[in-house]
């Protein structure tokens, strides 16, 4: 698949088949983070990989699903695995370095996951303390992002933004299948200069 086609296919998914994701596949996805660029090459991000049923069902409640719309996934639509990114920022690098490193790692992992037939999302770790105690990780670490991983049951369809409305919407097709419509601005609206 061409790189642009893979980028277009790699969307945010919020409902999944209720099946396990093998640790071997999580390790393949992790390679995307392994070879990411890193500010000053400090490599201060750390990762927790889990496909444990009990941990996954708790993590499902430690993030906010689809804050823009009323629909929320049910527990039988939950993902089969998560990768969580942490930092203890030992070098006290500026926050823009941390967030940029985190974004690069997330997107690299998303591209690999998509190429393996999985769907993912990037989610704010809202209940940070709960996540640290659930995973038995020292408080010197901060959870930066949570990435659910599973076989998606929603198809994401990119549309054009109309009337400046960028809200995504969801159509229930029955039997846990959905269309999710995601408006994107045009290239002309994004580019403010070109010489």
Ligand X SMILES: Cc1cc2nc3c(=O)[nH]c(=O)nc-3n(C[C@H](O)[C@H](O)[C@H](O)COP(=O)(O)O)c2cc1C
44 vs 65: CA distance, rounded Å: 27
Strands 119-120 and 81-87: unpaired
Tell which positions 50-109 bind ligand X, by CB under 6 A: 63-67
Minimum distance, C-beta of residue 25 to ligand X, in the bound complex (Å): 21
117 vs 187: CA distance, rounded Å: 28
Task: Please enumerate in sequence order all residues whose Cβ is within 8 A of that of 126, keeping only pairs 6 or more positions apart, or say none.
Answer: 62, 63, 64
Q: For ligand X, give the closer residue by CB, 23 or 66.
A: 66
Minimum distance, C-beta of residue 9 to ligand X, in the bound complex (Å): 10
Residue nearest ligand X, CB atom distance: 11
Tell which positions 151-170 bind ligand X, by CB under 6 A: 156, 168
Site string (11-50) toward ligand X, x via CB under 6 A: xx-x------------------------------------
Q: Quick check: 182 binds ligand X (CB under 6 A)? A: yes
Nearest to 150, CA basis, from 109, 118, 112: 118
Q: Quick check: 130 binds ligand X (CB under 6 A)? A: no
Minimum distance, C-beta of residue 178 to ligand X, in the bound complex (Å): 13
Are 49 and 23 a contacting pair, CB within 8 Å?
yes
Number of residues that bind ligand X (CB under 6 A): 15
Q: At what angle do helices 95-115 and 23-34 cross, to 10 degrees?
A: 140
162 vs 145: CA distance, rounded Å: 30
Interface with ligand X (CB under 6 A): 11-12, 14, 63-67, 121-124, 156, 168, 182
């Amino acid at each position: 698949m061409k790189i642009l086609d893979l980028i277009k296919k790699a969307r945010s998914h919020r409902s999944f088949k209720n099946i396990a994701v093998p640790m071997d596949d999580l390790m393949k996805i992790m390679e995307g983070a392994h070879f990411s660029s890193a500010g000053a090459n400090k490599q201060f991000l750390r990762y927790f990989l889990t496909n444990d049923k009990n941990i996954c069902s708790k993590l499902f409640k430690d993030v906010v699903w689809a804050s823009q719309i009323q629909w929320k996934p049910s527990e039988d639509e939950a993902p089969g695995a998560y990768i969580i990114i942490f930092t203890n920022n030992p070098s006290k690098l500026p926050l823009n370095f941390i967030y940029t490193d985190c974004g690069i790692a997330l997107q690299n992992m998303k591209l690999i996951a998509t190429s393996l037939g999985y769907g993912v999302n990037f989610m704010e770790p809202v209940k940070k303390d709960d996540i640290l105690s659930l995973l038995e990780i020292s408080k010197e670490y901060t959870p930066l992002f949570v990435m659910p991983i599973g076989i998606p049951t929603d198809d994401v369809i990119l549309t054009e933004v109309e009337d400046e409305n960028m809200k995504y919407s969801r159509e229930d097709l029955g039997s846990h299948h959905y269309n999710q419509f995601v408006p994107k601005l045009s290239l002309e609206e994004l580019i403010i200069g070109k010489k």
